[in-house]
């Protein structure tokens, strides 16, 4: 292999590294632009949700109702589609909330001690999800109690 070939290979490798880094930086920047409160994590603790209120509704592309209709469905069984943000209270109650600050809007509530709760929070936080179950009113906000992993799926 002559020096010109080594030089060309070196330039190609450098170009690939630079391009890869640029694409990663673009992806991170785009994610943070699309998710301005991305510091709101997969499993925070505390008595209130940190961060700014997130109110962008998920677009419904499934048979689930959009989150904006959840309150009108209270007292029925159904499916609600929304972007859920993970929250764990000091007492161990787990939620995928519509918003990152009070009022939290619609919530998928996972009782404390649930063996599947932490994995659901990690899997679906920040994701558009479909939650199925009995829609109840809890402290003025619509909520579905999640007792099974089958009640939450990624939105279509």
User: Which of 95, 118, 116, 115 is closest to 107 using CA atoms?
Assistant: 95
Greater model confidence, 30 or 23: 23
Number of structural domains the chain divides into = 2
Domain for residue 51, yes or no?
no
Enclosing domain of residue 86: 65-154
**Model confidence pLDDT, tens digit, residues 31-79:** 333 333 333 333 333 333 434 334 444 444 568 999 999 999 999 999 9
Do 80 and 149 share a domain, yes or no? Answer: yes
What would the two tokens of residue 151 be? 């009640």
Greater model confidence, 97 or 44: 97
Do 79 and 134 share a domain, yes or no? Answer: yes
pTM over 0.85: no
**Model confidence pLDDT, tens digit, residues 111-152:** 999 999 999 999 999 999 999 999 999 999 999 999 999 999
Q: Strands 65-66 and 77-88, how do they pair? A: parallel
């Amino acid at each position: 292999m002559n020096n010109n070939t080594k030089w060309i290979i070196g330039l190609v490798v450098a170009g690939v590294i630079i391009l890869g880094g640029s694409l990663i930086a673009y992806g991170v920047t785009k994610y943070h632009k699309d998710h301005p409160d991305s510091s709101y994590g997969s499993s925070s603790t505390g008595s209130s949700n940190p961060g700014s209120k997130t109110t962008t509704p998920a677009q419904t592309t499934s048979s689930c109702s959009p989150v904006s209709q959840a309150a009108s469905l209270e007292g029925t069984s159904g499916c609600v589609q929304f972007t859920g943000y993970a929250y764990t209270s000091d007492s161990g109650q787990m939620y995928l909330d519509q918003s990152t600050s009070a009022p939290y809007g619609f919530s998928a509530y996972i009782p404390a001690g649930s063996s599947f709760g932490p994995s659901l929070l990690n899997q679906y936080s920040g994701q558009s999800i479909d939650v199925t179950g009995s829609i109840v009113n809890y402290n003025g906000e619509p909520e579905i109690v999640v007792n099974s992993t089958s009640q939450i799926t990624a939105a279509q």
